[in-house]
Structure formats: structure tokens, C-alpha cells
Structure 1
Amino acid sequence: MQNTDPTAPAGAQGAQSGASEAEAAMNADIDALSQQLAQAETAVAEMRDVLLRERAELENQRRRLQRDLEQARKFANERLLSDLLPVFDALNSGLAIENADAAVLREGTDLTLKTLLRVAETNGLKQVDPTGTPFNPDLHQAMSMVDSPDHASGLVVATLQKGYVLNDRLLRPALVAVAK
């Protein structure tokens, strides 16, 4: 189809078809960009959803850990106290005896003390009774220095109060008398 209008310039028809091709190319670019934008919006929405889920999971985990920590604190001594129940029972039995002589009471107290020490040892507590050993400032506290011809200088000759170590950490030093 040719333009038969003698007054129309010869290149006008070509210009119209060039403009429509440029417009079509621009529309195609706009459609492609619109598709890319829609894909990007979908990806952002998915990432936002994942982010919200992860935040919720982290918050739930934090709450669970806090609850577990509170439970651990609350029942941390459960095993120790359960182990102490026989000691309580022995003391109650000793107190229930009304007409006991001193020897029977002493024997019962000795057995109760041994039970208590056994419970303490199973829970990591060890006694420090250094009589006859060299003075160790890491475990002992010297309360006095005494002249003792039977002991070498620096040896512990008497324990005034036993010390205790809990799981290799000094809980209380032993109070001792040391030979000069």
C-alpha cells in the first residue's frame, strides 16, 4: 500500500512506521520490566515470610531456653537433696529414741555422719584433714605455729577445723597448727 497523495512527503509514511516500531519496542520493554518487577515483588514477599518465620522461631527458641534454664535452677539441687533424705531419716530415728544412753547416741551420730559424708563425696565434696602432712597454703590456713620435737618444721601437727574441696576447687581451707 502506497501513499498516492501527491502533497505528502515521500518519507512521512516511513516515519510513521518507524514510530510505531519504536512504540512497540518500548511497550515490549515495559512488559518485560513489569514481569521482572512482579517476580522481584514475589521474591521479596517470600523472603519477608521466611524472615518472619525465622524471627518467630528464634523467639520461641529463646523462650524455651529461658524456661529450661529456670527449671534447671529450680531443680538443680534435686539430686543432692534426694541423696540427703537417708540422713534426715537417720536423724529422725535417733531423735525418736527416748531412753538411749550416750554410747547408743554416739554410735547413731557416727553412722549418720558417715552417711552424710558419703552423700557429700558422691556430689563432689572432699574433706581436707591435713594432720601429718606438709603445710600447703593453697589448702590450709595456719592458725598457729607450735614447737614440736616429734614433727619436722612445716608439718601440720593439728587440724583445728577440716577444710573442704568441691570438684577440685577450694570451698574452705583447713585451719591448722604448724610445727616450727
Structure 2
Amino acid sequence: MKLDKDEKEKEDLKDENLEEEQNFQAEQSIDSNNEELDKVLKENEELTTRFQRLQADFVNYRKRVEKEKESLVSYGVETLVLEILPILDNFERAMDVEKDKEDSFFKGIEMIYDGLIEVLNKNGIEEIDSLEKPFNPEYHHAVGMEDSKEYDKDTIIRILQKGYIIKDKVIRPSMVIVSQ
């Protein structure tokens, strides 16, 4: 009987040891799974961050390309307009000199002039409104000053050459006479 009791105790110990070993293996398996899960989550986070950076880089690249494209178009238009403006000035001079404003030749010149102005306006090129406005060195180039009791100091009293802007950028400042 004692032997049976000892054997039973030995078997119980074996069962306990087996159970402890199984629990230990289960804990190791869980720890291993947790480590793998942590590793996968960390990798996922890194990939998400990398994707977000790439996405932001692409958005910035697209904006930069659009801005450069717009700049190139504006530069091309600006170059062409700068070559056309002296011709427009000559049209204005010719129209100012003509005395017979009802002459058909004058009417034809006036139609061409109006057409040029319309094309410039459609492309965002506008004349700088200067007469009787305060002098602004960003928009005006003062070529002279005159005493005037009629106007306040630093007011534009005459325009010698019209200035033009394209989308808030001065492409040619107005040449003006300013009151003292």
C-alpha cells in the first residue's frame, strides 16, 4: 500500500511537472506571439508613416509642377506683352495726334487698338490706374516733379507712359509726373 501511495505521489508529481511544462510552453508561445504581434504592429506603423511621407511628397511635387507650369506660361505671356506694349503706345500716340476723330481711317485704327486692349484684358493684363492717385514706387516710375496747387503732395498729375500689370505683377511701371 505504501508503494501504491508513493507511486501515486510520483505520478501526481509527474502530472504536475507535465502540467507546469505545458503551462510554461504555453506562456512562451504567448510571449512569442506577442513579440511577433509587436513586431508586425511596429512594421505596420513604419510603413504607414513612410506612405504618408510619400503621399505628402507627391502632393508637394504636383503643386510645384503646377506652379512652375503657370510661371512658364506667365513668363511667355509677359515676354510677348512687353514686345507688344510699344506698338500699343504708338497706336495711342497716332490716335492722339489725329484731329478728325470721325474719319474712317481713325475709326479703323481705334478698332485695332480696342481689339488689342481686349486681348490683353482676356489674358489678365491690365493698365495700372495712376492719374490723380498717390505715388506708389511699386507701380510708378517718377520721371519728374512739378509744383501744383491743384493736387496734394506726391499725387500723380500726368502719365507719360502707361504701366501694366499681369496677375498682380508689374510688367511695366507707369512713367509719371508727381506733384510736389
Q: TM-score, normalised by structure 2?
A: 0.51
> 25-34 or 10-19, which moves further after superposition?
10-19
**Which of 65, 79, 101 is the aligned partner of 1:67?**
65
Residues 156, 178 of structure 2: 8 Å contact kept: yes
The residue that corresponds to 2:28 in the other structure is 30
Q: State percent identity of aligned pairs.
A: 10
Residues 163, 175 of structure 1: 8 Å contact kept: no
Alignment of 1:1-180 (within 5 A): 4=3, 14-77=12-75, 107=106, 111=110, 115-119=115-119, 123-130=125-132, 136-137=134-135, 143-145=145-147, 152=150, 154=152, 159=158, 161=160, 164=163, 166=165, 171-172=173-174, 174-177=176-179
Offset at residue 143 of structure 1 (A): 0.6
* Partner Cα separation in structure 2 for residue 60 and residue 152 of structure 1: 59
> 162-171 or 57-66, which moves further after superposition?
162-171
The number of residues matched between the two structures is 154
Identify unmatched segments of 5+ residues in structure 2: 92-96
Is the partner of 2:19 in helix, strand or coil? helix
Cα 1:136/1:73, change in 2 over 3 Å:
closer
Cα 1:25/1:3, change in 2 over 3 Å:
farther
Q: TM-score, normalised by structure 1?
A: 0.51
* Partner Cα separation in structure 2 for residue 56 and residue 157 of structure 1: 53
> Who wins on radius of gyration, i.e. which is larger?
1
Identify unmatched segments of 5+ residues in structure 1: 95-101
The one-letter amino acid of 2:56's match is L
Offset at residue 59 of structure 1 (A): 3.2
Is the partner of 2:147 in helix, strand or coil? strand
Question: Could you say which structure has the higher helix fraction?
Answer: 2
The one-letter amino acid of 2:145's match is M
Is the partner of 2:74 in helix, strand or coil? coil
